[in-house]
């Protein structure tokens, strides 16, 4: 059992309601939103909660709290942000992107 399996809200990810919401998000926004800010076109494979829901089902299922990310951005930049780290992203021109 890993860290993710121990969260009390993990069961929400297996529900049909989440799967439908996830599928709709990826259909409406199929590209990674972080990559697009850097002018990189990358397919999104992860639906991320912008604001961590921590088991709040209303926030968990709020479509306005979702963003499409590629696995790399979700597992690196997003995790650093959630840990309180400052993440500086750079555009295709090599200059920092202001967010």
What's the pLDDT score for residue 10?
Answer: 82
Tokens read off for 63: 């479509």
Alpha-carbon span 29 to 23, nearest angstrom: 10
Alpha-carbon span 14 to 31, nearest angstrom: 23
Alpha-carbon span 35 to 85, nearest angstrom: 19
CA 93 to chain centre: 25
* Average pLDDT, integer, range 7-30: 91
| Most confident option among 14-18, 21-25, 92-96 | 21-25
Query: What's the pLDDT tens digit per position in 20-76?
Result: 999 999 999 999 999 998 899 999 999 999 998 888 899 999 999 999 999 999 988
Tell me: pLDDT of 1 over 50. no
Please calculate the CA angle 20-78-22 and round it to the nearest 5 degrees: 5
Alpha-carbon span 79 to 7, nearest angstrom: 16
Tell me: pLDDT of 85 over 50. yes
């Amino acid at each position: 059992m890993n860290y993710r399996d121990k969260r009390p809200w993990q069961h929400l990810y297996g529900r049909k309601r989440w799967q439908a919401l996830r599928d709709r998000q990826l259909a409406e926004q199929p590209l990674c939103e972080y990559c697009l800010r850097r002018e990189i076109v990358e397919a999104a494979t992860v639906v991320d909660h912008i604001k961590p829901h921590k088991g709040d089902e209303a926030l968990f299922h709020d479509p306005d709290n979702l963003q499409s990310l590629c696995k790399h951005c979700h597992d690196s930049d997003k995790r650093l942000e959630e840990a309180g780290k400052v993440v500086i992203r750079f555009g295709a021109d090599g200059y920092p992107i202001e967010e």
